[in-house]
Every structure is written in structure tokens, then in C-alpha cells.
Structure 1
């Protein structure tokens, strides 16, 4: 596979797997949910508990970790306390059987008709809630795309077209979600609005850098501080306002003029009955990766817990940082980061942000002269990087020679956003399969002195 010591690649993969395991959604829910003969207790000793004698509990779970989270919840909540079978919505790769639940598969990263059907099913269930009941919502990354429920006047095709333009624009996840919230009946506090007058509690597995609850799955259970004016500004700033469907333009313009109902804000009384618990995050996975690297004998260095920016530029910055580390390094060192970069699509190739970052790092290492033995892994904790079957890439100093030996030009492929075939030619794709969780991405750079 590589002229560089194979164990280094194995080390990088093992560190990545440890980070993913730390975001195990089943165990995360188990830690935050407990039932005795009288009460359901939600929370932990660190966060405090919310307890109640709810005897009609509506269980709703959505996101890439939805099945595992729902499975944990239904093993804890007595079946007699469930108002009806739970509703679980996840991407097709992560579908699993969950007792006492209806499981729906849906499209990701682009929404589809199955997701719309699932969203309508949830909305129908929420229309039947009463005071004194509990809506227990289990949220994980990917929920935004999985539950499309456009406002009246916008059809699913228009929503998909808008989402596709946003994903290709280089907009951040927060900017994308700002627009999504103002086109949806569930996002941006919409689910909480539909759940009233019941009590609501959300257990949330975070896939965003700063654990901003309004950004995770577009914040369906929390207040939204963005506005229609903000959504219009996002689309204009990335030059795609004129490209989006006219139905979307009309709705957002009407909203900016005060002619559409805004997303619920923090002052809305409905949030007096809602609360949440953060049960897992990228930062937790980064800490676990660092611990694993130490156990493998590496000096460790945290590069960032909020890695963001254009993937290829971040790769260059990390390469320059690696040069400073290797200048006076005496022991093998692991540089660990977590976050979520972006890619502005300018070509027509195949890949994802992690594959793009890996290929860009290989080119930057050659450009700036990062010599010696190094291994770099960049991958999504969900096991899926963009619209591909790879989690990301795992590369070393021989990656570019392997690509060129296959008759390919790595720089030209990067310019065409075509990182997948480049890494595939080098046998450097990281193929983990769907992991059942999602807490953004991990980057692992292993540096070895005197080799």
C-alpha cells in the first residue's frame, strides 16, 4: 500500500476509529436517560436532571445516528409509556430495525420524497399532542436534509434545487441552515412550535464545531435568531440569488417584508416547556483521538477543535504548521484536529471535503518541502464524505508518486474537484462504511523524526 512504514497508516486509522467510537450514539443516550417505576429522568449529574411522570411519550429520532439513539431510548422507556410507536428517520446507509419504532429511510445530502413523507408523518404525530405529554426528540447530524418539509408554495424540487446550489457555493453550514430554516415548517424551532402544548426535551448529538444548537439539524427544537433578511443576504452574497427557483425568491422576499411568519425567537412562550441535553460532540471525539495517540506512543498536539475554512487552504496552513513541528521534533508526534471545512465547487469532479483536503495536503507537502515520514488522515465520522462511498483519505509522502504512476495529474484533478479518482488510484481512500454516528470530521497528522 505504501513505501512508508505501514504501521503509521494503521496508527492513523486506529486513532480515527477511537474518535468515532467516542461518539457512539447508543451509549450517549444511555448516559442521559433513566426510568424508575414512577418517573423518567433526563440528564446527568453534570448537567442536572429533568424528571416527570409522563405517561404519553412521543419518541421522535432523526439524523444519521437516529436508529442507535432510538434503540437506546426504547430499551429504557417502558413500552406502556409510549403514546405510539416511535418515528425514526435516517439516511439509507444507516437503516436498522428498532423495536417499538417505525423506521424511515430518506435522502442525504440532498432531500428526497421519502424524507418529505417522513417529515409529514412527524408533523401529523405532533398535531396530536396534549399538555402533560412529552415529545422526546433525538437529534443527530444530517437531520436538515433528511426531513424536508417546505412551507406552502415551495415544492420539494425547488427545495432540492436551492439546497444543491447552497452546497456548491462554499457557504458555511450556518449560512446554509439560515436559508433552510426559512423554507421549512420543521427547522428553526418549527418542530417545537408543532409539538406545543406538550413538554419537549431533545437529546442532541452535535455535528457542528461550536455545538450551536440552532445549527444542529437546523435547530428544529430551539429558537432561531436569524431572519428572512439574513437568508436573502446569504443567497445574494454567494451570487446564487438569481439562480434559485422563483418560488423560493418570492417566499423569502415576502418574509423580508413581514408578510410571512418568522421562525420562533427566544422570547416565544412555547420555549418555556422545551429543554435539551448535549450528549456527544466533535470535541469529545477529538479528546478521545488524542488519548489514543498517546497510548500509541506519540507526543500529541491539538491543532484545532474548530477547524473550518476552504479545505485546500486549510491543508496548506496545516502543512506549514507541520514544518514548524518537524524543525525541532525529537519524538513521533500526532497533530490532531476536528471540525468541518468547506469546498467551493469550480470543477465537475467527484469527491468530498475530506478527500479534497487530503489531496491538497499531499500537494502542499511537496510544494513546501515537508520531508521525512508523515501520514495524514482526514475523514468524516459518519463514514461518508460528500456524495461518495469513502469517509475521506489517508495519505503519505508516496501518495503523489502513486497517482502519477497511474498516469494522472494530481494538481489538475484537484482543480477539477476530482479528488476521489486521484486517491483511488493511489489506494488512499479511507473506506470505513457508514458508522451510525455523525460528529463532523477528524484530521490526524502523524510525523516521524529522522525517517
Structure 2
């Protein structure tokens, strides 16, 4: 018997989140005990839970500080947990970053600095480069988040406006050895894009960052342009001897989460196909593209026969045009539903594995075969909702939001499309 699609999709989403929990993924990557101190530093939505996992599995002395999103703290006895704002940095994040820099600079040659980094770390550990202010950083962040730039492009700019990202934190800690444990929330799992790479070398340049701002028409403050044009914002480059002995480990990735979800679907007796863990592009465009694949499966049995489930991960973008509540996953779902245009037997769930889609405390939503019909009956115009970037408002009004609360991890977006068997099959 075919399982209930709505319940199955939610179990798969929960399995993806569970597979990336720090308490499960982190312990095998802990370093050997150093002759000196173990100093724990970190930033990101998962960093507090990562710190808790370190404390639970480290028998010796340790100390440190990590900064996480408001509401994402985890109980720790030896590592200080600080909360700050995301996705736009605030004064608490600046103060935490400054203290992290001070602790790193005080590390000695026999110490090991264990850096715990996950998605969200770019905004949470914000230390403006000399000559810039928090206001400058906030203005650029807001503009980049609204213009449709990819996460790689956004983080390139962030690295060159920072006093701590782009390898600078590791350089500060030299000659101590730096071991970085990363939970990836970026397409391709590039370490330099996870929390904007505070502990890894960066091959991009100030000129690259300036080109991105110009490409998207970002009206950055004058101090930002001066910093980039002068080259004073240059990051730590590959081959820098201060980073030579350091180690970097990816402990959880979007692919791992998708595979865990796929196992749940297959255990329920359904074929599951992973389309990719790094799909990017405008959320509405990705929705339309995946709708085309779903239609072909439902109507033609190509490239897969129904029933089946299509999984994908990655991070889409939203160019803000309206005044709605936003959310790239719900925008994807709304575009998917509109592009399916009445194709029956298709359900979908899309959500951010950190529990926050955009700036809402909502992970995502579920699309059902009758979503659009229910919306029209309730007097809700789905086309207008998409035009206004109001996916959250749309799905909340239908009771189809997915709310997880803080998940304490972050392995990017999760998208699952369930295509039921043809009638009579």
C-alpha cells in the first residue's frame, strides 16, 4: 500500500536533519590531545550544538567561545555560548567576533585551536575590516540578500570586508595548529564559503568582490568601495605559511542528509532519485524546472516511472520584488505548484534544514495536489503571492507551513517531490 505522501515527506525531512546532528557527526573528527591547551572557537547556527558535542566527548581541559543565532544556544559548561543576529549582523556578533579574535591571537605553539563552523557563521561572526563600521556591513548584507546574488558571490564580498574571515582567523592563531570542523550549507561544500572561510585560504580578490557589487547594482557605502579599490581588504591567500599545518574536515554535508532521507523513502517501498545536492538559481526558476521533470514522470514515465520520489538540495536565491514574507523554499514550492498547472498525484516538501526559511521561524511548507484549488477557494491568488514574494503568507494561510523549531544543524535546503502511481496502477 502506498504510504501517506504528506507524512512520508515529513519523515524524510526529519531524517535529513537527524543525519546532520553534531552529536552524531562530530566525535570521530576530534583531534588528539595537544601538549598545550585545546581552545574551541566557532560560529554558525550549529556551532553551539557542535560545542556541546565537543564537551560531551572531550575528557580533558578545554575552553573557548562560539557565537550562534538567537534561540540556537545549547547548554555548555566550559565553552561560552554567545547569541547574535542572522542574517544581518548586529553589535552582539561584532563583540563576539572581536573576543574570538583576541582568544585566537593569544594561542601558543603547543595549543590546538578547534574551530567549529557552520552555516550562518558569516553574519554571526562579523568583524568589520579597518575603516568599516557595522552599519556599512549591515547595508551591504541587506543589499546582497535582496539582489539575487548566489551564496558564493555573497561570501566573496563578505570575506573582503572582514577582519576575521577569508583565512584571517587562522592567521591570527598562528603558530598554534588550527583544526576546523565544518557543517556545510553551501552548494559544492567549498570550505571557503562555509561561514566565509575564516580558517582557510582564499583565492578570490578584492577585484572579484568589487565586480560582484557592480554586477548586481549594489549601492555600497563609500568606505566599502575605497577598501576594495585600495586592496586593503585582501584575504589570506593559498600557500600562506601561517596556514600550512592546519587541518579542515567536513563532518556533515547536504549529500549525507539527502542519502538519509532517501533511505526512509526506499524503506517505505518507493524508488528515490537524488537529482543533485547543489542545485542553484532563482527559487521560482528551479521550481519551474523541477515541475517540468515531475510532469514528464507523471505523464510519460520518463526519466523515471511513477510512483517515485525526487530529492534535491542546494541553495536557491530570491530577487526581492514584492513586500511579502519571503522564504526561498516556499517561493520554490509556490512556483512548482503554478508550473505543475493542475497535474495530479504530485506532493512536495521544501524546507531549510536549519529550521529558518529566509527570516521566518518557519522551515518551509508542503505542496499538495489541491493546494492551488484550496487557495483559490479561500480567495488567495497564488500568482499574486509569488509576485509579492509571499510564499510564507500563502502556505501559512492554508495551514501547510512546516515548523521544526531550531534544528541545531544546517545542511542547506531540502526538496522532495512525491509523484504517485497512475490511476489504476
Normalising by structure 2, we get a TM-score of 0.96
Q: CA RMSD in A?
A: 1.5
Structure 1: gaps of 5 or more residues: 34-41, 43-50
2:100 is the alignment partner of 1:122: yes
Matched, 1:311 2:283: yes
Contact residue 129 and residue 233 of structure 2 kept, 8 A: no
Q: Note if 1:197 corresponds to 2:175.
A: yes
Query: Does structure 1 residue 426 correspond to structure 2 residue 398?
Result: yes
Is 1:385 the equivalent of 2:366?
Answer: no
Contact 1:402 1:425 in 2 (8 A): no
Given candidates 110, 116, 131, the residue that maps to 1:138 is 116
User: Is the 2:36–2:111 Cα contact (8 Å) retained in structure 1?
Assistant: yes
- For the pair 1:338 / 2:304, whether they are aligned, the reply is no
Give the count of matched residue pairs. 419
User: SS of 1:444's equivalent?
Assistant: strand
TM-score by length of structure 1 reads 0.90
Contact 2:119 2:410 in 1 (8 A): yes
Instruction: Indicate the residue corresponding to 1:207 in structure 2.
Output: 185
Q: What corresponds to 1:104 in structure 2?
A: 82
2:334 maps to which residue? Answer: 359
Distance 2:396 2:35 in 1: 53
Cα 1:261–1:351, aligned 2, differ >3 Å: closer, same or farther?
Answer: closer
Aligned partner of 1:26 in structure 2 is: 23
| 1:77 positional shift | 2.4
* Structural mapping, 1:51-450, within 5 Å: 51=32, 53-80=34-61, 82=62, 85-240=63-218, 243-255=219-231, 260=232, 262-326=234-298, 327-328=300-301, 331-366=306-341, 369-370=342-343, 372-450=344-422
**Matched position secondary structure for 2:138:** helix
Distance 1:248 1:19, change over 3 A: same
Per the alignment, in what secondary structure is the counterpart of residue 171 of structure 1?
coil
The answer to whether the Cα contact below 8 Å between 1:151 and 1:184 also exists between their aligned partners in 2 is yes
Question: Residues of 2 paired with 1:6 and 1:75: CA distance?
Answer: 38
Identify the residue that residue 46 of structure 1 maps to in structure 2.
none
Deviations 1:371-396 (A, max 9, x none): x2221111100010001121011111
Displacement of 1:88 after TM fit? 1.8
In structure 2, distance between residues paired with 1:254 and 1:53: 40
Q: Distance in 1 between matches of 2:65 and 2:154?
A: 26
Partner Cα distance (2:108, 2:155) in 1: 30
Offset at residue 52 of structure 1 (A): 5.3
How far does the alpha carbon of each residue in 1:54-96 deviate from its partner, in whole angstroms, 9 at most, with x for none? 331111122111121111112232343x2xx321211012112
SS across alignment from 2:187: coil
Deviation at 1:6, TM superposition (A): 9.0
**Given the superposition, is the C-alpha separation of residues 236 and 261 from structure 1 closer, same or farther in structure 2, using an over 3 Å criterion?**
closer
CA distance in 1, matches of 2:365, 2:177: 44
SS state at 2:192 partner:
coil
Higher alpha-carbon deviation: 328-337 or 129-138: 328-337
CA–CA distance in structure 2, aligned partners of residues 387 and 307 of structure 1: 21
CA contact (8 A) 1:413 1:422 kept: yes
Q: Secondary structure at the match of 2:354?
A: coil
- Indicate how the Cα distance of structure 1 residues 401 and 262 shifts in structure 2: closer, same or farther if over 3 A, else same: same
1:9-46 residue CA offsets vs partner (Å, 9 max, x unmatched):
0111001111111101111111222xxxxxxxx3xxxx
What is the rounded CA distance, in whole Å, between the counterparts of 1:185 and 1:431 in structure 2? 36
Unmatched segments (≥5 aa) in structure 2: none
Contact 1:377 1:395 in 2 (8 A): yes
Cα distance in 1 for residues equivalent to 2:180 and 2:305: 47
Residue 191 of structure 2 aligns to a residue whose secondary structure is coil
